[in-house]
Structure 1
Amino acid sequence: MASTTEPTTLKREDDEEEDSKPSAEDEDTGAQVAPIVKLQEVAVTTGEENEDVLLDLKSKLYRFDKEGNQWKERGVGTVKLLKHKESGKVRLVMRQNKTLKICANHLVLPTMVLQEHQGNDKSCVWHAADFADGELKEETFAIRFASVESELILSYNSPFIFKSTIFDGVTINKLKWSVHMFLCAHWFYSSVT
């Protein structure tokens, strides 16, 4: 019986020795490799150069898939409300964290209605004609924030609240939802004209 256990013990020791030896791939040869193609620096524009950032929040965006009758994740990243310097139009743009791919890109209109999503005060739902995929499509979006304080909050008395700060000059300590979040667009449009 002792002879049957010895070969397995020797085999295990050999495996450990092989793992501890450095392989040829791990060794640094000191050779320097020149690049095959020289790349020139290119100026990249985001399309946000003529816009002021009104809001910048980290969030997770979902879109509703009508065919599958389910919510699908669109991306995790930064959602921004941007106001054009000349026209005064406000748009919502969201980009994914690492790739910076556009998840959502649409105008914020006074007719849009934002609602709490199934009673969750950290998420909300709205409909928009989105242009993120390069073609105009009617989409239903849901967005989720890390905390209630990070949400876009409106009340009928004040046009736009974010982290207890209202652009109208009033501060509210207790944050709460209003059914019409996108009244902020109406307020921005009316302040421009």
Structure 2
Amino acid sequence: MSEDEKSEPSTASSPAKASVRSSDQGYYPEEERDDLQFEPVVTLKEIEVKTGEEEEEQLFCQRAKLYRWNRETAQWKERGVGEIKILKHKVLNRCRVVMRRDQVLKICANHIITPEMELKPNAGSDRSLVWNAMDASDMEPQLEQLAVKFKTPAITAGFKAVFEKCQGS
């Protein structure tokens, strides 16, 4: 290579780059077919899903984050994020709290509201409430200290009002 060739910067694109560009054009087909149809291999029957909430009236339903107090580590552990509901049974006339985790729909809270329960603010927060309950979300009922956190103080006040109304009935 001569010194003139070394010192002159190349303004044209290199042949390698040009070949990449031309090969990209061949990679994507110009005509795409969107009329393809696939028939299912297996047809599935419609099944009826029972949640256990069919005989209950929904009094409250909002998205929230639920926590459980862990006695061993002495700290709050997140139990789940989802819709927390207060349901009233039409025949038995009793209320319960039910919450299912988003997407997996696993129950993370399931207990009856009793007049003995004390609902109070958590650590002075206007968006979080704490109470103790015999929770049966893990099938075997056990005494749990639960905390719920809502997005706004107005939602929290609504939950508290419905909860306390259920305690009175």
CA–CA distance in structure 2, aligned partners of residues 141 and 16 of structure 1: 61
Equivalent residue number for residue 187 of structure 1: 168
Letter in 2 for 1:146: K
Q: Output aligned runs, 1:61-80, within 5 Å.
A: 61-80=66-85
Deviations 1:24-61 (A, max 9, x none): xxx76865433232110011122111111111222111
CA–CA distance in structure 2, aligned partners of residues 10 and 65 of structure 1: 66
CA–CA distance in structure 2, aligned partners of residues 39 and 77 of structure 1: 29
1:128 and 2:141 equivalent? no
Give the structure-2-normalised TM-score.
0.75
SS in 2 for 1:151: helix
Letter in 2 for 1:137: Q
Shift of 1:74: 1.6
Q: Which stretch has the larger CA shift, 107-116 or 90-99? A: 90-99
Structure 2: gaps spanning 5 or more residues:
1-5
Structure 1: gaps spanning 5 or more residues:
155-159, 163-181, 189-193
Shift of 1:10: 6.7
CA 1:37–1:161 in structure 2 vs 1: closer, same or farther (change >3 Å)? same
Aligned residue pairs, count? 160
Equivalent residue number for residue 37 of structure 1: 42
Letter in 2 for 1:45: K
Q: How big is the alpha-carbon RMSD for the aligned residues of Structure 1 and Structure 2?
A: 3.1
Letter in 1 for 2:166: A
Q: 1:81 aligns with which of 74, 83, 86?
A: 86
Equivalent residue number for residue 119 of structure 1: 124
Higher Cα radius of gyration: 2
CA 1:68–1:33 in structure 2 vs 1: closer, same or farther (change >3 Å)? farther
1:48 and 2:53 equivalent? yes
Q: 1:143 aligns with which of 129, 141, 148?
A: 148
Deviations 1:67-102 (A, max 9, x none): 333222222221111111111111001122333322
**Percent identical:** 38
